[in-house]
Amino acid sequence: MKIMTIKKGVILALVMGMVFLVSGKSYSQEVVLSEVDEMPTPPGGMEGFIKYVMDNLKYPTKAKEDKIEGTVVLTFIVKEDGKVESVEVLRGIGGGCDEEAVRILENSDLWVPAKKDGKNVSARMRLPVRFKL
């Protein structure tokens, strides 16, 4: 797990080594594999993704006013073409933080997709995003 402190009081922790995939389960006519040889990586690698988050994430006003802090845990699929889809909040904290975490992930550029036997495949990922004042 790699944890980075980000300006504006946000800590982003990417759990790139943890994959929670379901063998044989289909999303949009595409199978999400249970095991991959190479995990998906965000645009620009970890450093590029952290910079993207730092430049674009806004701590929600409501969360600031109500002094809401905590970790929003997202799950999503990186498709075989690198698109991020099916973003869901597994654990939210409210105050607009859940929506902001989803917005940032959905607006990210194409990821480098997972690989299995040298072919691009879809993979399910988890992304914890910590909000701290």
What is the residue-level pLDDT of the chain in tens, covering all 133 positions? 444 445 555 555 544 433 333 333 444 456 886 679 999 999 999 899 989 988 999 999 999 999 999 999 999 999 999 999 999 999 999 999 999 999 999 999 999 999 999 999 999 999 999 999 9
Q: How many CB atoms lie within 10 A of CB 99?
A: 14
pTM (predicted TM-score): 0.77
- What CATH number has the domain bearing residue 118? 3.30.1150
Q: What is the pLDDT of residue 13?
A: 52
User: Tokens for 69?
Assistant: 């802090």
**Which residue type does 113 have?**
P
Q: Give the chain's domain count.
A: 1
Contacts 24+ apart (CB under 8 A), 61-66: 61/96, 62/95, 62/96, 63/93, 63/94, 63/95, 63/96, 63/97, 63/131, 64/133, 66/95
Cα–Cα distance for residue pair 67/63, rounded to 1 Å: 6
Cα–Cα distance for residue pair 102/75, rounded to 1 Å: 10
Note down the domain range covering 74. Answer: 2-131
